[in-house]
Structure 1
Amino acid sequence: MKLHEYEAKRIFNENGIPIPKGIVTKTKLEDIEGPVVIKAQVLVGGRGKAGGILFADTLNEANSKIESLIGKEVKGEHVESLLIEEKIKILKEYYVGVVVDRNEKNNVVIFSTEGGVDIEEIARTSPEKIIKYPVEAGSEFLPYNARNMLKKAGLSSEEIPKVADIICKVYSAFKKMDGVLAEVNPLVITSEGKILAADAVLNVDDDAYFKHSYMEFEEFKKQEKSEFAYVELDGDIAVIGNGAGLTLASMDVVKEFGGNPACFLDIGGGATREIVKSALLKATARNSVKGAFINILGGITRCDEVSKGIVDVLKEKPELKFAVRMMGTNEKEGREILTKNNVSYENSMEDAAKALTKIINN
């Protein structure tokens, strides 16, 4: 589960990591103390380049830009709230991260002197500027480990203790929250010599919810209200099935035929027309999603109800491309509904995935 920036910063701050002064708002402000940064709270990278981070020097300018962002979309994500922070004078930018390496079954601490840009871009263009330290299962990440990383990166003896302290605190927060990814990018040194987490990312393990108060997080509240299981991905083909195993297999098939899944969405058993419609609208809400692959094995889920939900969405989004494979309860009736509405279906999920990926990729 991804946390919003303001949520991640609150957790980091509770673990002793300094952050800029800021507030979260959904409305205009009554006052500001000086120049501010206005940051859309959306769970996507690259929001700055997409117009999701704006600057203002006066209250009128800030409110005008707040009004321009609230309710809009940034990279397909609806903006519901904004983080308003003091504008800081940056002298240096660093990258600090911790990630779970599932292949090696350990955590990896990452540092780079090239902060403020995507770590993937640094890895591609300047891999020598990335310092990694794998933390073996059962081992601790200690201050001297952080200091050694910073020595390799070439930091000055004056900066090493301060930055090493932050790295250790990021790792501590990551461990406490059962994180799968933590990032401070950039970690900045200001012109006054302060060290601040100017941006923050924290993704936590969904299965650890029983150990934490996840109800305070926006995305968990949305999941609790949802009638289906949904995981957002970076592709352009929404993948929808009834049952986790079937949906995962559907994603594999889409990938096998050259497609890129935009999400995992399991409508579960017994989904009604309304749930199918709601699921499809959720899965295809982002502008980057070009089509939907729907794979249904009907037991308590009726194929005719699924088809009605598909047709309802098609009326609202006629530009969407669909590939449907359905078998089981009321299969004949479901296929008849699709045929009447010019929605094609296939007898196998391989054929459906192949047909859709061909259309999307062309």
Structure 2
Amino acid sequence: MIPTTLTLGVEEELQLIDPSTFELVSAATHVAALADHALAPRLREEVHQGVIEIVTDVCSDVATIREGLVANRIAVRDLAGRAGLAIAAAGVHPFSDWRAQVFTDTPRMGWVARELGGPAPGLTCFGLHVHVGVPDDDEAVAVINRLRPYLPHLLALSTSSPIWNGRPSGLMSTRAELRRALPRTGIPDAFASYADYRRHVDLLLRTNSIDIERRLWWDVRRSPHYPTIELRISDMPTRIEDTVALVALSQALIAHLLAEHRRGVAYDVVPTSLIEENRRRAMRFGVRCQLADFSLGTEVPFASAMDQLIRLVSDAATELGTRDELEQIRRIVSDGTSAEHQLAVHAASRDPREVVDWLLRETQRDIPHE
């Protein structure tokens, strides 16, 4: 029986774009100030002013998440439009200079600027955060331990940042590489229990390594504010339907791993360094990568690895009613992620502005127009 506590929430970090120059615009505070009382609570400040983050309500199922994502993109599209701007969904901006972006002037964001010594390219990135409800702290830590080896799969499926500083970077997820330069990012170590995790966090707090728990910017974490597992590894998908597929996969995978934990199914704790090897492959080649199967000592094509993963979670997806959404993962693998399509546009035009133009249109592909 799938727990009814596996609720869902999604945070989308969207780019604010000048529709005439296609530049990233530092206007988040101005745009957010235009929101009405219904929309304002769903908007969140971020480190720099080129991003506007919007969150869904807590949702009981993937179908409701889809409705929330559509409503949110319509709301932010219209809000940005009132300021003469547009929105785009991707992991980085293809050509705007990260050094020109304006920091958000608040005490919380000021702490980040002081720690890093000023603006940093890893902060001018845009990600998707997926929350899956697991109320019990010890169960959440146990599931995260089992989840760690699958994080590269989620990164590969979401890659949307292949062009940076006006040209292809050589990576499908430039965002993943840029964020590695920030502290406390990447794959977290496994923890023996929630108490073990708390000792780690409290030590960082006592030694002034962090000022609050949310400075842990790992690819997956126990949310500091909600009774959820928070998946943070993904680039910001351009299409809503890709985000929905990733949410469905994340929920079904966590449901499956939680069930295994409760049954006492044994598993191997994969060393962080080995998971990082697959993270690098996903970052470099996306869904065309070869993943390493360290238990067998072989390489596996990503498409085969995803077939195996979909079979693994199919029973959970059936019980959750998300088999159709899960099948969309196969479409992403076959058709390519946003990163592949951006590279194709750039190869044809040699103009990163054409890539942004494509992003502006594709960001709205799955939402109704006025």
| TM-score grouping bracket, smaller chain normalisation | under 0.3
* Bigger Rg, structure 1 or 2: 1
Ranked by relative contact order (alpha carbons within 8 Å, sequence separation 6 or more), the top structure is 2
TM-score by length of 2: 0.26
Relative to its length, the structure with more helix (as a share) is 2
